């Protein structure tokens, strides 16, 4: 196990325990106490954990992975969110995925005057929307994907199988002419279920994600109803989308 993987595992063990000591961590990780103390020192220096006496807890800012992703290309995400809002009408029932692009989209919807029904597996989005009384909000249950603040796994997928909506707004890790991709298979499975149980499918994706592929293909690019992005599309995508009568939405 490499150091990065070991640190990630340590964080998960701390996150899932109400009380754990360095000695217990060393035993669970099957490494020396010296190694654990060195790892904990690094995590404390990074402000991922807080050490108190002989116990360790997650720092309040352990959500940095989510916020780092959120602030990457933030201006592009805000442009996309404003464009996507035009596709929403009062009374709509929506799936919103766990992407930071959809999180920014949800924040835009929260400022509107529309009554909406929103189903998501994004915990941060749920916190953002929970006090907006005009939005009927459902947060999917399931296993927590630490650091990404999403729910995934069989329980989330089973819950999704009983929900039908008219519009699904989602982003992706990468896309190319052959498909739309995710880097995490369990996260990808959630999107596949949302795709299957929605009537219209809207892809919100910034221009940095084109012409790249990742691990898990969720669907073909031809299966979306509209693509919303922050810049004019490359010609090869324009040809594919226009041939399939897919709406293309970009800034004027």
Rounded to an integer, what distance in angstroms lies between the CA atom of residue 110 and that of residue 103?
A: 11
pLDDT in tens, 208-231: 888 887 789 999 999 999 999 999
Do both 10 and 36 map to the same domain?
Answer: yes
- φ/ψ (deg, to 5) at 169: -105, 130
Cα 90–104–150 angle (5° rounding)? Answer: 100
Residue that is last in its domain, among 38, 62, 86: 62
Measure the CA dihedral 63/64/69/71, to 10°: 110
Maximum C-alpha span of the chain: 64
The residue among 42, 62, 82 that closes a domain is 62
Range of the domain at 239: 67-249
Whether 57 and 80 share a structural domain: no
The beta strands (E) that lie in the chain are given as 49-52, 55-58, 93-96, 116-120, 135-139, 143-145, 150-152, 165-170, 174-176, 179-182, 198-204, 216-219, 226-228, 247-249
Structure tokens at 226: 């509209």
Question: Could you give the number of structural domains in the chain?
Answer: 2
CATH code assigned at 235: 3.40.50.1360
**Shared domain check, 116 and 44:** no
14 and 95 in a common domain: no
Work out the mean pLDDT of the chain and round it to a whole number: 87
217 shares its domain with 97: yes
Packed helices 74-85 and 100-110: angle between N→C axes, nearest 10 degrees: 50
DSSP letter string, 158-186: HHHTT--EEEEEE--SEEETTEEEES-HH
Splitting the chain (252 residues) into consecutive groups of 10 residues, what average pLDDT does each group show?
A: 75 72 87 90 75 64 62 89 96 96 95 93 93 95 86 95 96 91 90 97 93 86 94 85 91 84
| Residues with Cβ within 8 Å of residue 98, at least 6 apart in sequence | 120, 121, 122, 125, 145, 148, 149, 150, 187, 190
> What's this model's pTM, rounded to 2 decimal places?
0.75
> Can you tell me which residue has the tokens 């029932």?
93
d(CA 183, CA 176): 14
């Amino acid at each position: 196990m490499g150091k990065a993987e070991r640190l990630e595992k340590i964080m998960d063990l701390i996150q899932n325990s109400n009380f754990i000591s360095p000695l217990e961590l060393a035993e669970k990780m099957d490494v020396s106490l010296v190694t654990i103390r060195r790892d904990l020192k690094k995590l404390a220096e990074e402000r991922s954990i807080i050490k108190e006496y002989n116990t360790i807890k997650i720092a309040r800012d352990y959500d940095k992975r989510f916020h780092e992703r959120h602030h990457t290309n933030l201006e592009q995400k805000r442009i996309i969110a404003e464009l996507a809002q035009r596709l929403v009408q009062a009374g709509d029932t929506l799936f919103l995925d766990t992407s930071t692009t959809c999180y920014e989209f949800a924040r835009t919807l929260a400022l509107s005057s529309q009554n909406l029904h929103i189903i998501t597996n994004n915990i941060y989005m749920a916190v953002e929307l929970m006090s907006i009384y005009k939005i009927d909000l459902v947060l999917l249950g399931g296993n927590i994907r630490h650091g990404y603040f999403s729910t995934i796994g069989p329980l989330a997928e089973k819950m999704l199988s009983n929900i039908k909506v008219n519009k699904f707004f989602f982003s992706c890790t990468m896309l190319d002419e052959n498909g739309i991709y995710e880097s995490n298979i369990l996260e990808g499975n959630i999107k596949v279920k949302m795709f299957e149980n929605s009537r219209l499918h809207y892809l919100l994706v910034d221009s940095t994600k084109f012409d790249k592929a990742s691990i898990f293909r969720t669907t073909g690019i031809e299966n979306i109803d509209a693509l919303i992005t922050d810049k004019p599309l490359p010609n090869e995508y324009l040809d594919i989308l226009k041939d399939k009568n897919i709406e293309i939405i970009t800034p004027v």
